[in-house]
Amino acid sequence: MTSRPIELGIFKSYDIRGTYSDELDERVAEMIGRAFVDHVGPSAVAIGRDMRESSKPLFEAFARGVMTQGADVVDLGLTSTDELYFAVGKFGYPAGAMITASHNPKQYNGFKLCREGAIALSAETGVFAIRDIVARGAFKPAGRRGTMTSRDAMPDFVEHCLSFIDLDTIRPLRIAIDCGNGMGGLIVPAIFKRLPVEVIPLYFELDGSFPNHPASPIEPENMADLQRAVRESKADLGAAFDGDADRVFITDEHGELVGGDMVTALVADMLLRSHPGATILYNLICSRGVPELIAKRGGVGVRTRVGHSIIKAVMRERDAVFGGEHSGHFYFRDHYFADSGLIALLVVLELISREKKPVSELLAPLDRRFRSGEINSRVVDVPKKLEDLVGAYADAEIDRLDGVTIQYPDWWFNVRPSNTEPLLRLNVEADSRDLLETKRDEILKIIRG
């Protein structure tokens, strides 16, 4: 084991993540396990892990740290992140940890940590406190050594996911699913053997070296194989999961990419039928089509800042039935306010089954505007650039919920700073392509000028 200094930069806003084994090795993992118990104080920790080659040794080290500090370990084995959240919530464990680097390349690994009720830890609610304990290297004395038991949560998790839909409504659809050699390859077959759906599988083999493409479906190039499979097989839709299978991205029946905000609208459409008048959250990057759909269906739309710890907190405050982000994260009240791409996909399948319409037809009235996608610009003085933009569009409706949002009747944009770099992130939406391109270029000239 190395005794080099600990790389404290692995402690991020929402998780712990770094390269194995130069930034994150077994020594550091054991210390994180000890610090997690010291900070949260649980009697037991449920631990799941993904299929990365480093996940098993990191699990063993983290578990050793947890037990050294007197807490018991429940080994869930290979799981998806949404299954870990489910297990913590369903079985009443006082804490949970998922060993994964999600969509990152194979050399990365890390930890997603949560408290009781699957309440995720963020920088402000525990990750940085754990970092500081690790940095000090001073741990509380434990009166006992914890024990380890194993549990297979998969059967209960399958039942839980299927409880979100009416199984009798699902039509004999054909869908292509790309698991990217990630954890979806384990859970997807267990779910779909219960449904009258033909699955065209892509990369279901668990392989942490990601031999086909990165398990990061938010990048359009990683969706190319799925798009081709949808077109060649004449599938009703395509779905791709990231490495730990908590996010999903879909295509329509033509293989065209569907934005996360449009999936938010589709899921909201279905859930408002069974939860009339419910509160639905959407982040402020989502298209105006999302709140329009929520209002049309009689729901209460609540606009939020970007970020899962923020959305989960607001969902609990408002008792929101659902929340969605443009980034492919979809949160469900009845999933312990945690995210699950798999549940979102099942709800969309029920919607297209009930409506007997293809995805493109369901999206047509919602997805009628033009969006830039997120454009990042490195700037020297972030606050000054934000004020320059406010001054340039002083006649607009302006708010500062997250960065600056500037709205006009036929177009709007949001610019928000990165949490970790001197970057501004721009998203623009307009009612026509010409207007989008004109305003995008106009705004970028101010930001980069």
Identify any residues that bridge with 341 across adjacent strands, giving them in sequence order. none
- Return phi, psi of residue 221, to 5°: -65, -25
**C-alpha torsion sign, points 288, 294, 295, 297:** positive
State how beta strands 423-430 and 375-378 pair: antiparallel
Distance CA(145)–CA(150), nearest Å, equals: 17
Q: Which helix (H) or strand (E) holds 382?
A: helix 382-392
Closest CA to 30 of 77, 64, 70: 64
Helices (H) and strands (E) in the chain, counts: 14, 22
189-to-40, 194, 362 alpha-carbon distances in Å = 35, 9, 27
Is there a contact between 289 and 282 (Cβ–Cβ < 8 Å)?
Answer: no
What is the DSSP secondary structure assignment for residue 72, as one 8-state letter? E
Nearest one of 131, 126, 134 to 309, comparing CA atoms:
126
The helix or strand, by DSSP H or E, that contains position 149, with its residue range, turns out to be strand 148-150
Pair type for strands 44-49 and 72-78: parallel
Report how far residue 161's alpha carbon sits from residue 5's, in angstroms, rounded to the nearest whole number: 43
Catalytic residue among 55, 80, 102, 216: 102
Residue type for position 146? G
With vertex at residue 290, the alpha carbon angle to CA 418 and CA 101, rounded to the nearest 5 degrees, is 40
Kindly state the tokens that stand for 382.
């972030």
Does the annotation mark 102 as catalytic? yes
Farthest CA pair distance, the chain: 68
List residues with catalytic annotation. Answer: 102
